[in-house]
Structure 1
Amino acid sequence: MTFTFGSFLLIILLSLIVSVLLVNKVVKIDVVDVRYPEIDGLRGYLAFFVFLHHSYIWRYFLQSDEWNEPDVNLFNHFGQTTVAFFFVITAFLFTLKLINSKNKQINWSAYINARVYRLFPMYLFSVGIIFLIVGYLTNFKSKIPFSENILAILSWIFFNIKKGLNINGFENSSLLNAGVTWTLPYEWAFYFLLPLIALFFKIKVNYKVILLFTLAATTIMIINGASLRHFLPFIGGIIAALIISKNIFGNILKQKKYTFLAILLIACSIYFFNSGRKPIPVIITSIVFIIIASGNNFFGLLSSTFSRKFGQITYSIYLLHGTLLFILFYFIIGLEEAKELTDFEFWSIIALSVFPLIFFSQLTFKYIEHPLMELAKAKSKSSSSKA
């Protein structure tokens, strides 16, 4: 196992570097100027770690037919701590928008429209692939009552808001994307809670907006059966936004010694905790994020053009990697054959799968995500000029 976790992790990371460089020559994308380039650079690595997390789970699922969290701390944190980072980032960026909008009127309708344009198109594309796969595996014939199918399809279309519903009776439908959609209802709940949060920043919000948005957030959480513990990283992100906006640390956290501190903190979290969802690991995640958001680029890694281009395709990587793994083991290799793979063979296949993952993710970013993002910006400018 030492060979797998050590040598093969390096081989997979090397495969990632080569894949990103090659794909950027074939499918060219531009780096967008953003206020926090280090955060953009961080995102891609987070999504890739989730891919490694689910690869590990697939390894043992093939042998035991049970989908369990990894029993190795590192691979468990690849999934749980990275998701905590994603939640912290979301809360940080949107709380900053509130802080920077204290003297402005927020167009809440335009805000939600922008979220729809940003999240729905790529998500619907990924779910469309899943529907096609399930249709093929069930011979495009109805296997369950029509009403059950409609409920499952609607749930999947709306970010799998109702967990555990199988499409057309296909058992464990969540395997088709490794169950990654569980985070999206939490993201949407936070988006809808933002007007309520705005009140704490003394921003005037129409009471109808507060009621409607809070009702939407509550409905999402009830239908989803959401756990309040998953909102802890969002609190970390809000605190991070308050600290960064007040420039409490100035340029201090940019120093290299704080890069080493961040690495040490993450190492301690991985070593001492088997889960990234516990309060102390979440606090550590938030502290490390504050260091990064303060402009610490980890010796230039996070602010590099390589990392930022990689970071731009995060959402596509996140949504597509689970489906790629399913296609790989179900159709290309075959479940029975995959059960017999040695560790060497399995992780070699994972290393080889990095290129198609990056290639297709960059394609979908360029032709699905980016055009809709630009359309959302254009509509936002149009509505602002009319106002």
Structure 2
Amino acid sequence: MGALLCATMIGSLATALGFPLPPNDRRIGCIDGLRGYLALFVLVHHFVIWIQIVRLHGKWAAPTVNLLNNFGAGGVALFFMTSALVFYPRVLAGFRATSWVTTYITRVFRIIPLLAISLLLMSLIIALRTGNRPNLHTIKDVLEWITSWAQPSIMGYADTGRLDAYVPWSLWYEWMFYLFVLPACAFAMDATRGRGPTWTLPVTVLLISLCVRPLHPLGGLSRYLPLFIVGMLAYEAQRTETIRRILSAKWMAVPAAISLVAGLISAPTPYGAPQLALIGFFFATVACGNDFGGAFQTKGARALGECSYGIYLLHGIALNLLFVEGASFTERFSTAQVFALLPVVAAAVAGVTLLTYLLIERPLIRAGSRLARFATKQNLRIDSPQVEAAP
């Protein structure tokens, strides 16, 4: 209910700001309405962790209640599925038909700028808390953060990652998906085209990945690869008329919601095969256009979805400030009462990220698209003899 209230408030603010929403023909089901809720669930997960830190044991540790822990792990799992869903058309097109220059330029402009802003905010907080200043070694540390390679201490500040709730860890696996999994699947699609339905490729990769996962052949990616493949299968489901019609039916929201809850409460993480199936079924219904009684269709939900990356990256900083600099304030509340601050924090973070989307993300996304188009034209001029011979 709190998430729905937050979406309603953000919808009103988005209307006042003239917040732009993507046209309906660019939407895949109701996924854009889901993403904002996922980011809010990750915020709830980290809010609970901060309660544990300041009221219980002082350590950063996962909540012991499966549902609360899966607000974080499950939310990220569904984000991974979303990435695969959105980029699966490149797999269907095949390796040779995809402009990888465009893909990677636009990804850099989508991911890096706001990550850099979050790192700048963290550095400012560190400087104000410690009096430390950047030096030459800071450049190396910043580059590791920006590339998601690692999360070293910045300016000597111990446990810098706690400042943003360690959220950039997932970006490393996003990059692994874009750089290796996506082109490999596109290449495999070219190699197998015409030998069977296209869904056989993701099904095969999913079965193989689940079988070999205990051996960790791909390191940490072995755990998350099935999530990306489930996102690809959700795309296959929504492009199949019969499946899309069944899963988008209003009554299907009930078993899908039950499936999601079961997947989130049945284990501490969503990575087991049963949890993967349960959560994947829910995700497929949303991808097929099931709006769950309108919850994923409102302007507020869609606006939250557009700024979900900002919520994901910046909420940890807001929580850190609340429970560190704001400790004298939060200590006035009992443990039960402090949860009343949660919707206020969520609404504040969502409101700020509406602005960061308008002022930072959207302009740079557009700049990346323009650069990608320019780079693609340049490649065509170099590679095409017809263009070279043109007067």
Normalising by the smaller structure, the TM-score range is: 0.7 to 0.9
Kindly report which structure 2 residues correspond to 1:279-358, keeping only aligned pairs within 5 A, or say none: 279-331=273-325, 333-334=326-327, 338=330, 341-358=333-350
Q: Kindly provide the CA deviation profile for residues 221-254 of structure 1, in whole angstroms up to 9, marking residues without a partner as x.
A: x9x9635212220121122233334445141111
Kindly report which structure 2 residues correspond to 1:1-387, keeping only aligned pairs within 5 A, or say none: 10=1, 12-13=2-3, 15-17=5-7, 19-33=9-23, 34-63=26-55, 64-99=57-92, 101-102=93-94, 105-141=97-133, 147=137, 149-159=138-148, 161-163=149-151, 165-193=152-180, 194-202=182-190, 226-247=220-241, 249-331=243-325, 333-334=326-327, 338=330, 341-384=333-376, 387=380
Which one-letter code corresponds to 1:199 in the other structure? F
Query: Alpha-carbon deviation of 1:359?
Result: 1.6
- Closer, same or farther in 2 for the Cα pair 1:189/1:251, shift >3 Å? same
Matched residues in 2 for 1:42 and 1:14: separation? 11
Query: Alpha-carbon deviation of 1:338?
Result: 4.0
Matched residues in 2 for 1:244 and 1:200: separation? 22
Q: CA-atom RMSD, angstroms?
A: 2.5
Structure 2 runs not aligned, ≥5 long? 193-215, 381-391
Query: Alpha-carbon deviation of 1:182?
Result: 0.7
Deviates more, 1:338-347 or 1:42-51: 338-347
Matched residues in 1 for 2:190 and 2:160: separation? 44
Query: Alpha-carbon deviation of 1:14?
Result: 6.0
Query: Alpha-carbon deviation of 1:383?
Result: 4.5
- Closer, same or farther in 2 for the Cα pair 1:73/1:339, shift >3 Å? farther
Runs of 4+ residues deviating >6 angstroms: none
- Closer, same or farther in 2 for the Cα pair 1:203/1:319, shift >3 Å? farther
Matched residues in 1 for 2:363 and 2:316: separation? 24
- Closer, same or farther in 2 for the Cα pair 1:340/1:321, shift >3 Å? same
Structure 1 runs not aligned, ≥5 long? 1-9, 205-221
SS of the residue corresponding to residue 268 of structure 2 reads coil
Matched residues in 1 for 2:126 and 2:158: separation? 10
- Closer, same or farther in 2 for the Cα pair 1:384/1:245, shift >3 Å? farther
SS of the residue corresponding to residue 66 of structure 1 reads coil
Query: Alpha-carbon deviation of 1:293?
Result: 1.0
How many positions carry a matched residue from both structures? 351
Identity %: 26
- Closer, same or farther in 2 for the Cα pair 1:171/1:15, shift >3 Å? farther
